[in-house]
Amino acid sequence: MNRAARATIDTSALRANLNAAKEASGGARIMAVIKANAYGHGIVPAARALSGADAFAVARMEEAAAIREAGMEQVVILLEGVFHAEQIPQAASLDAELVVHSHEQLEMLEQYSGSHRFRVWLKIDTGMNRLGFPPEDAVELERRLAACAGVAGRPRLMTHLASADLQTDPFTTDQIRRFREATAELKGERSIANSAGVLAWPDSHSDWVRPGIMLYGVSPFEGRSGEGLGLRPVMTLASELIAVKTVPAGGRVGYGGVWTASRDTRIGVAAIGYGDGYTRHLGSGTPVLVRGKTATLAGRISMDLITLNLEEIPDARVGDEVILWGTGLPVENLARKAGTIPYELLCGVTQRVAMRLV
């Protein structure tokens, strides 16, 4: 086996970040968002480590099934509900709670004649203009849902914040106000906050919060690191040096020869590339850690390999660990360099990367 690329998942950091979310949420219940393979961390191990959450939120039926197949009995919420009526029996057999965001979904529940009673979450669109019903329809739709034979109890109520990561953007205050006004006469429990809401918008906490990225130790705010927010990074992505050579002055390294040695330079080759999820949008000069010191990418990222300028680490040898992100090298910084967000880098770690739990 030569899967040199590995993602080490620190389960104690997951638990610590869950506690941080609880403390920041002022007693709200926690719906831990573990969709997209727990943001690339492995849905089942992440869910096990986060078993202290009050519920799990997923985006796909397969994700709910993975939780049940692993024997976990916690509440699971399908954040986008079912996509087709044929999925309702499966959602029932998984005992999943359903978000209802469209008239199609409402009609599916009105026509459902099975014996299961679903807990449902009515999703109200307070300005994101993605999923959800207009605020002015909330009262009527809540009554229609409550009247469905397949619905258990009063529908719960939710909305999603579009700009909570922008800490001074008044749009979030507007969304919270619209949600409050739309639901003022309704009884169901409420949920508004994502991680940025948990950390920066106390008015969004309500009954349930829905943190995702912060559980993985990562900041939802541009320009701030998770560690600066009191979170612990969960994933360390690493590989190892499989070759070290000296490239003479003037030698070009890698595809396209976009990096040229200005003097004789020790170049290390590590076994990781965009085929593992280490995005090719990172360029020469991107830092990695070898022997606790910083080396930099030299040349383009290939599918399976990267080339590193080792001139600052003369003792680096074949077999040395190369850390791409994690403690000491925040994924937030790499995302900025790659012109993306840390969510995308984490979710993009591919199946080829070996997952190790510690």
Ligand X SMILES: Cc1ncc(COP(=O)(O)O)c(C=O)c1O
In three-state form (DSSP H/G/I as H, E/B as E, the rest C), the secondary structure along 250-280 is CCEECHHHCEECCCCEEEEEECCCHHHCCCC
- Which amino acid belongs to residue 295? A
CB of 60 vs ligand X, minimal distance in Å: 12
Among the listed residues 35, 123, 216, 278, the single catalytic one is: 35
d(CA 19, CA 16): 5
Tokens of residue 77, six digits: 């919420």
Contacts 24+ apart (CB under 8 A), 14-18: 14/41, 14/46, 14/49, 14/50, 14/215, 14/216, 14/234, 15/49, 15/50, 15/52, 16/231, 16/232, 17/214, 17/215, 17/216, 17/217, 17/231, 17/232, 17/234, 18/50, 18/52, 18/53, 18/215
CB of 64 vs ligand X, minimal distance in Å: 15
CB of 212 vs ligand X, minimal distance in Å: 2
- Which amino acid belongs to residue 255? Y
Helix 138-146 crosses helix 171-183 at what angle (to 10 degrees)?
50
Closer CB to ligand X, 7 or 78, in the complex: 78
Closer CB to ligand X, 13 or 33, in the complex: 33
CB of 165 vs ligand X, minimal distance in Å: 7
Q: Of the candidates 161, 163, 159, 166, which has an alpha carbon nearest to the alpha carbon of residue 134? A: 159
Q: Is 35 a catalytic residue?
A: yes
Closer CB to ligand X, 278 or 343, in the complex: 343
CB of 144 vs ligand X, minimal distance in Å: 22
Closer CB to ligand X, 85 or 347, in the complex: 347
Among the listed residues 187, 245, 255, 293, the single catalytic one is: 255
CB of 137 vs ligand X, minimal distance in Å: 19
Closer CB to ligand X, 191 or 236, in the complex: 191
Residue 291 DSSP label: T
Closer CB to ligand X, 211 or 254, in the complex: 211
Q: Please state, in angstroms and as integers, the Cα–Cα distance from residue 30 to each residue in 118, 133, 181, following that order.
A: 20, 24, 24
Q: Is 216 a catalytic residue?
A: no
* Element of type H or E holding 21: helix 11-24
Residue nearest to ligand X (CB): 212
Q: Please state, in angstroms and as integers, the Cα–Cα distance from residue 284 to each residue in 105, 112, 279, following that order.
A: 48, 57, 12
The residue ranges that bind ligand X (CB under 6 A) are 33, 79, 160, 194-195, 210-213, 220
Question: What are the catalytic residues?
Answer: 35, 255
